[in-house]
Amino acid sequence: MVARLVVAAPASGAGKTTVATGLMAALTRRGMAVSPHKVGPDYIDPGYHAMATGRPGRNLDPWLVGEELLAPLFLHGAAGADLAVVEGVMGLYDGAGASEFASTAHVARLLDAPVVLVVDAAKQSRSVAALVHGFASYDTRLRFGGVILNRIGSARHEDICREALAESGVPVLGAIRRSDAVATPSRHLGLVPAAERRTRATRAMDAAAALVEDSCDLEELVRLARTAPPLRARPWTPGPATALTGPAAAGSGAAVTRTAPDPESARPPGAPVRIAVAGGQAFTFGYAEQAELLTAAGAEVVAFDPLTDEALPEGTRGIVVGGGFPEVHAAELSANEPLRGEVAAFGGPISAECAGLLYLARELDGRPMCGVLDVEAGMTGSLTLGYRDAVAVRDSALTRDGERYRGHEFHRTAVRPAPERPLFRWRGGADGFADDRVVASYLHLHWAGSPQLAARFVRACHRVPATPVRGSAPPAPGTSRPTR
């Protein structure tokens, strides 16, 4: 059994990231092995969770992977841990669209985990009790464990809130005073990733841990977490997952159903192929299970930093470039001409999502990029955000015509021209550049929900020689290879 609790809030901005991360850090510093998790597709919070616990931050999203995988993925991530802390997303009952599917409450029920509600009490006193009563009684299927009051202004303010909540019968598990020391800066897509501000993030983490330790009843929170019953599920394993694929059942919420072996997904014979995965400060978005699936499918996963590395790792047979903030680091990425030249000349498979799409473009905000795609990318004034129920409408290096994928878009950029033959279509939209070698799209996919992606990518890498070209210059504007 894994002790566990979910840290939720009535709405975004209440302080649940500070409380959840501070709780993870405080328990870790007491010698506990803490498994960190985040509800939803967010990539940034798990980076702070990993810093707090020393374990990979993992996402739990039933929209992206299906309800049936939630508990197995949770158990996989929490293996060997003393306790798991799951940070919620938005408000407790806010889900995908108008439903509560993929909400914090939905995930808490799937995990049968007690919920701790973080309430911003800065501009209220007795009204806190009415708010908490409403959230606790709205869905009686939830295991509602208590409340942590955040941004308390004074001892008198705390006393009033505690007295009101005592009348409601909801336990108060902590009361945290206002503090600027735990603030985390934001920009156009949310918090600044921990990898970009490691020294300052560490200081903020220390402050959050101390604040939670001084203000919350850690012993009672651990006791509450241990009331969670055993889960009737087996831990997810990446090995068998790569060999099971098929079209998704309608309305299942899963990217694919895992019912029949796919001949394409069998692990190729021979030594592992080396796959270079972009990292560093510009490319911080990714799910931990992707590398695990690639390894299980027969890959040696090696990280490289497009900001600082002037060459791909020796022997690279495939490249994966995930999400991040290349627009923030466009000047440095553009200045690394040797690496851009290698990527431009690379003849193996490339998988790119969102930020990776921008890096493969001919230019980004007027600065030269790799030129693998004959498109220009740039910042826009509007945010594109939301879940996508997409269908692949053509074959590619990763997909097959007619397959369904659950994904997520989150960006303030655009590429021009749009793809003439998009890879994915969904209600009201289309996206994706693809051929038999390169797949690049704004759509973020969780590969645990579509394990055939890893298997197909590794198999494609086996078909190319390990001969990256050294010292090639990026193509001049207008001469890049069309991958349309």
pLDDT digits (tens, 9 = 90+) for 398-428: 999 999 999 999 888 999 999 999 999 999 9
Strands 34-39 and 83-87: parallel
Residues in the chain: 484
When pLDDT is cut at 50, 70 and 90, the band that residue 98 belongs to is confident
Q: Which backbone phi and psi does 318 adopt, to 5 degrees?
A: -155, 155
- Going by pLDDT thresholds of 50, 70 and 90, the confidence category of residue 308 is very high
Residue 204: the pLDDT is: 80
Tokens 């021009």 locate to 416
Determine the average pLDDT of the residues in 64-89: 97
* H-helix or E-strand spanning residue 434: strand 433-434
Nearest CA among 283, 311, 315, 282 for reference residue 300: 315
Look at residue 438 and give its three-state secondary structure.
strand
Give the per-residue pLDDT at 122: 94
In which residue are the tokens 């129920």 written?
389
Q: Answer whether 113's CB lies under 8 Å from 145's CB.
A: no
Please state whether the predicted TM-score (pTM) of the whole model is above 0.85: yes
Mean pLDDT computed over 464-469: 60
Task: Please tell me the distance from the alpha carbon of residue 111 to that of residue 8, in angstroms, as a whole number.
Answer: 14
Whether 463 shows a pLDDT value over 70: the answer reads yes
- In the chain, DSSP finds a helix count (H) and a strand count (E) of 15, 24
How many Cα atoms sit within 13 Å of 276 on the Cβ side? Answer: 25
pLDDT per residue as tens digits for the range 25-39 = 999 999 999 999 999
pLDDT category, 197, cuts 50, 70, 90? low
Q: Do 3-225 and 238-462 come out as alike in CATH topology?
A: yes
Q: How far apart are CA 175 and CA 214, in angstroms?
A: 9
Q: Give the mean pLDDT of the chain.
A: 88
**pLDDT band of 242, cuts 50, 70, 90:** low
What is the three-class DSSP state of 380? Answer: strand
Cα separation, 22 vs 37, in Å, equals 14
Element (H, E) at 398: none
How far apart (Å, rounded) are the C-alpha atoms in residues 302 and 137? 49
Task: Return the amino acid letter for 365.
Answer: D
pLDDT in tens, 170-190: 999 999 998 765 555 553 444
**Active site members:** 354
CATH for 238-462, options being 3.40.50.880, 3.30.70.2660, 1.10.10.350, 3.50.30.50: 3.40.50.880
**Cα(10)–Cα(92) distance, integer angstroms:** 6
The CATH H-level superfamily of 3-225 is P-loop containing nucleotide triphosphate hydrolases (3.40.50.300)
Element (H, E) at 391: strand 376-392
DSSP 16-69: HHHHHHHHHHHHHHTT--EEEEEESS-SHHHHHHHHHHSS--EEE-HHHH-GGG
For CA atoms 315, 319, 323, 326, the dihedral sign is: positive
Contact yes or no for 24/49 (Cβ under 8 A): yes
Among 307, 297, 339, 220, which residue's Cα sits nearest to residue 453?
297
Average pLDDT over residues 225-245: 82
- The DSSP annotation for 169-226 comes to TPPEEEEEE--STT---EETTEEPPGGGSHHHHHHHHHHHHHHHHHHB-HHHHHHHHT
Question: What token pair was written down for 454?
Answer: 């890893």
Would you list the domain boundaries of the chain?
3-225, 238-462
Are 170 and 142 spatial neighbours (Cβ–Cβ below 8 Å)?
no
Is pLDDT above 60 for 94?
Answer: yes
pLDDT for residue 246: 40
Give, for 288, the enclosing helix (H) or strand (E): helix 288-297
Q: Which long-range contacts (CB under 8 A, 24 or more apart) does 54-62 make?
A: 54/28, 55/81, 56/288, 57/288, 58/287, 58/288, 58/289, 59/287, 59/446, 60/86, 60/107, 60/111, 61/102, 61/446, 62/101, 62/102, 62/106, 62/107, 62/110, 62/253
For range 221-232, the mean pLDDT: 97
Side chain identity at 163, as an amino acid letter? Answer: E
User: Smallest Cα–Cα separation from 277: which of 457, 470, 51?
Assistant: 457
Average pLDDT over residues 86-111: 95
The full DSSP string for 439-463 is EEES-EE-TTTSTHHHHHHHHHHHT
In this prediction, residue 257 carries a pLDDT of 38
Place of tokens 């945290």: 176
Q: What is the mean pLDDT of residues 303-314?
A: 97
- Rg of the chain over Cα atoms, rounded to whole angstroms, equals 23
Between β-strands 433-434 and 438-441, what pairing exists: parallel, antiparallel or unpaired?
antiparallel
- The torsion angles phi and psi of 391, rounded to 5 degrees, stand at -125, 130
Q: Give backbone dihedrals phi and psi of 218, rounded to 5 degrees, phi first.
A: -65, -40
